[in-house]
Amino acid sequence: MTAEKKCKVLVVGAGPGGYVAAIRAGQLGLDTLIVESDRTGGTCLIRGCIPSKALIHAASRYEELCAHFNEKESGSGKLGISLSAKPELDMNQTIAWKDEVVDKLNGGVEGLLKKAGVNIVKGWANFYDAKTCTVDTAEGPLTIKAEHVILANGSSVIELPNIPFSDNVISSTEALQLDAVPEHLVVIGAGYIGLELGIAYRKLGAKVTFVEGLDRILPIYDKEMTRPIETWLKKHKTDVIYKARATSVSDADGKPVLTYTDKNGDEQHLQADKILVTVGRRPNTQGWGLENMCVDMNGPFIKVNDQNRTAMKNVWAIGDLVGEPMLAHKASAQGEMVAEIIAGHRRSFDPVVIPAVCFTEPEIVGVGLTPDEAKAQGIDVIVGKFPFAAIGKALTMEAGGDGGFVRVTARKDNQVILGIHAVGAHAAELSGEFALALEMGACLEDLAHTIHVHPTLSEATMEASLAALGKAIHISN
Ligand code: FAD
């Protein structure tokens, strides 16, 4: 017999969108149930943001240690610290450590849900009308009827039709679980996920080659922003084959060989040990009865208004399911907002900016408009730029030599800030101040005259604002 449960709020998917929505709804006293077929935490925690950043950290640590050994070999001794033997990498232990981080956070999310009084149901939710689903749980089928449904089903990796996933052709999920560093990793797609993982594997000792369809990496950032990454790739003998179209994979003695057409239309082959496909993600709109819910679509995404309402009354959709940018913090912000609206608060999703970071080498932060985007909108701008090479703290962390900088873009007429961008080691940690400045409608003087702690990297934001005003202190104007 099918058991039945009723609740005020049913959340589908416990990623950063769904679990945040459920916790907030629970905190607000709403009778809330969350359904998740996998582990709580979703793509972000289980196979995305967190494990990738853990792998990136381990890879950077390994590369650094190798540098101390190499310098000793060459007789110099980096920072006066030398290693007499080359550091050894045990990839199984690295992955086990990464899994520990994930497990700890996964337990934390479950604990927070329980503490907020949220009922967690494990299994796949299948809807047969907009407010009713059945979940095949370990205890048997369960029918759930809800007053409000928050869809937070997230997204999945895109598989190339002619290059199906296999043992040797992998997605980002498998790239976070490898038990050995491939000798040659070919990465199809030089977007942020491909670059983050490809750079991490380069640091772990793999030869890495990117095959990219466009004529540049990270096209949402301008050339000035991506140049330090290109320089790093070149310095680390990592090729990017531009304007190349991957067409098929064959097998040569157990190793995958990628066939692609180059910029001249000629067929080329690349032998690899693993091929990592990172060509984007698609919203999870299939296989759970979306067609029975009478919602409208916006291309491949579920269409929502500025409160994340779908076309069906009391059905809400958030996160990767509703469009770009597919980022965890956007999903969480929408989840928190929807829970509050259901509880009767007046809210709408109208951020001035949704900040974005690429955890590449070096890191890139993008908040608001670039100078080119502002000009394309017919806005006259002034731009101030300040290099990390002139920031004391950067030098003390060996972080000033990668060509990094902070760039502030403001309206010329009233000096209101339109965008702040940065590239450089550790630059991701500056993103909070950038986003806050734009949300608060700060103008150049606000940033320039806010006393920033010395010595910190954040002084570069203050100095870039001073530079835009023509009065930077630590570089000539
Ligand atoms: P998801 O996190 O995808 O969660 C959806 C959940 O719903 C899943 O757990 C799924 O199992 C469950 N589900 C789906 N359908 C059903 C159903 N019918 N029944 C039950 N359960 C269901 N973003 C960042 O902001 N910063 C980063 O640094 C970053 N790095 C990333 C690195 C990688 C390698 C990847 C792959 C992604 C990264 N992202 C990053 C993107 C980020 O992970 C997503 O934007 C985010 O997870 C989206 O959250 P969500 O809640 O919308 O969906």
Interval between CA 67 and ligand 1 midpoint (Å):
35
Ligand 1: does its nearest atom lie under 6 Å from the Cβ of 16? Answer: yes
Q: Are 274 and 166 in contact, with CB atoms under 8 Å apart?
A: no
Q: How far apart are CA 165 and CA 187, in angstroms?
A: 13
For ligand 1, what atom is nearest to the CA of residue 53? 28
Q: How confident is the model over 235-256, as a mean pLDDT?
A: 97
CATH of 3-45+98-156+282-342, one of 3.40.50.1000, 3.40.50.300, 3.10.580.10, 3.50.50.60: 3.50.50.60
Which residue out of 43, 187, 359 has the highest number of ligand 1 atoms within 8 Å of its CB and is therefore the one to mutate?
43
Which residue, by CA, sits nearest to atom 9 of ligand 1? 42
**In the chain, what are the domain boundaries?**
3-45+98-156+282-342, 169-279, 356-468
- Cα 374 from chain centroid? 24
Q: Are 57 and 374 in contact, with CB atoms under 8 Å apart?
A: no
The interaxial angle of helices 223-235 and 192-203, nearest 10 deg, is 30
Nearest to 155 by CA among 54, 51, 47, 56: 47
For ligand 1, what atom is nearest to the CA of residue 356? 25
pLDDT at 477: 78
- End-to-end Cα separation, the chain, in angstroms: 77
- CATH class of the region 356-468: alpha beta
**Binning pLDDT at 50, 70 and 90, where does residue 78 land?**
confident
Partners of 268 in the β-ladder = 260
Decide if pLDDT at 76 tops 70: no
Q: How confident is the model over 436-448, as a mean pLDDT?
A: 98
Q: How confident is the model over 52-67, as a mean pLDDT?
A: 96
Q: How far apart are CA 281 and CA 203, in angstroms?
A: 25
Nearest to 48 by CA among 102, 90, 12, 95: 102
Nearest to 208 by CA among 88, 87, 361: 361
Partners of 317 in the β-ladder = 151
**Binning pLDDT at 50, 70 and 90, where does residue 74 land?**
low
Q: How far apart are CA 115 and CA 117, in angstroms?
A: 5
Ligand 1: does its nearest atom lie under 6 Å from the Cβ of 319? Answer: yes
| Bridge pairing between strands 281-283 and 315-317 | unpaired
pLDDT at 69: 87
With a CB cutoff of 8 Å and minimum separation 6, the contacts of 302 are 151, 283, 285, 290, 295, 296, 310, 317, 321, 322
**What's the pTM value of the predicted model, to 2 decimals?**
0.97
Q: Percent of the chain beyond pLDDT 90?
A: 95
Q: Percent of the chain beyond pLDDT 70?
A: 98
| Bridge pairing between strands 184-188 and 274-277 | parallel
To which residue do tokens 């909108």 refer?
A: 377
Q: Which residues are catalytic?
A: 454
Q: Let me know if 350 is exposed, middle or buried by CB neighbors in 10 A (0-12, 13-18, 19+).
A: exposed
Domain 3-45+98-156+282-342 matches domain 356-468 at the CATH topology level: no
Q: How far apart are CA 355 and CA 69, in angstroms?
A: 38
Q: Let me know if 415 is exposed, middle or buried by CB neighbors in 10 A (0-12, 13-18, 19+).
A: middle
Ligand 1: does its nearest atom lie under 6 Å from the Cβ of 38? Answer: yes
Residue 58 burial (CB count, 10 A): 20
Decide if pLDDT at 294 tops 70: yes
Tell me: the pLDDT tens digits for 4-27?
A: 999 999 999 999 999 999 999 999
Decide if pLDDT at 345 tops 90: yes
pLDDT at 77: 66
Decide if pLDDT at 194 tops 70: yes
For 436, list phi and psi in degrees, rounded to 5: -60, -45
Q: Let me know if 169 is exposed, middle or buried by CB neighbors in 10 A (0-12, 13-18, 19+).
A: buried
Q: Are 201 and 208 in contact, with CB atoms under 8 Å apart?
A: yes
Q: Are 404 and 423 in contact, with CB atoms under 8 Å apart?
A: yes
Q: Are 79 and 167 in contact, with CB atoms under 8 Å apart?
A: no
Q: How confident is the model over 245-272, as a mean pLDDT?
A: 97
- The SS3 of residue 255 is strand
Residue 141 burial (CB count, 10 A): 14
Q: How far is the CA of 214 from the CAs of 219, 248, 262, in angstroms?
A: 8, 18, 11
Reading the block at residue 433, the tokens are: 């101040």
Nearest to 452 by CA among 386, 360, 373: 386
| Bridge pairing between strands 297-298 and 301-302 | antiparallel
Decide if pLDDT at 42 tops 90: yes
For the domain made up of 169-279, give the CATH fold. Answer: FAD/NAD(P)-binding domain (3.50.50)
- Cα 21 from chain centroid? 20
Decide if pLDDT at 354 tops 70: yes
User: HSE on the CB side for 141, CA within 13 Å?
Assistant: 8
- DSSP class of residue 42? H
The mean pLDDT of the chain is: 97
For 60, list phi and psi in degrees, rounded to 5: -65, -40
Tell me: the pLDDT tens digits for 113-165?
A: 999 999 999 999 999 999 999 999 999 999 999 999 999 999 999 999 999 99
Q: How confident is the model over 408-430, as a mean pLDDT?
A: 98
Q: How far is the CA of 248 from the CAs of 253, 256, 266, in angstroms?
A: 16, 10, 14
pLDDT at 174: 98
| Bridge pairing between strands 140-151 and 3-12 | parallel
Which residue out of 10, 24, 49 has the highest number of ligand 1 atoms within 8 Å of its CB and is therefore the one to mutate?
49
Which residue, by CA, sits nearest to atom 26 of ligand 1? 49
Q: Are 188 and 211 in contact, with CB atoms under 8 Å apart?
A: yes
Interval between CA 358 and ligand 1 midpoint (Å):
17
Ligand 1: does its nearest atom lie under 6 Å from the Cβ of 335? Answer: no
Q: Are 468 and 384 in contact, with CB atoms under 8 Å apart?
A: yes
Rg, the chain, Cα only:
24
pLDDT at 458: 98
Ligand 1: does its nearest atom lie under 6 Å from the Cβ of 134? Answer: no
Q: How far apart are CA 259 and CA 271, in angstroms?
A: 9
Decide if pLDDT at 70 tops 80: no
Decide if pLDDT at 193 tops 90: yes
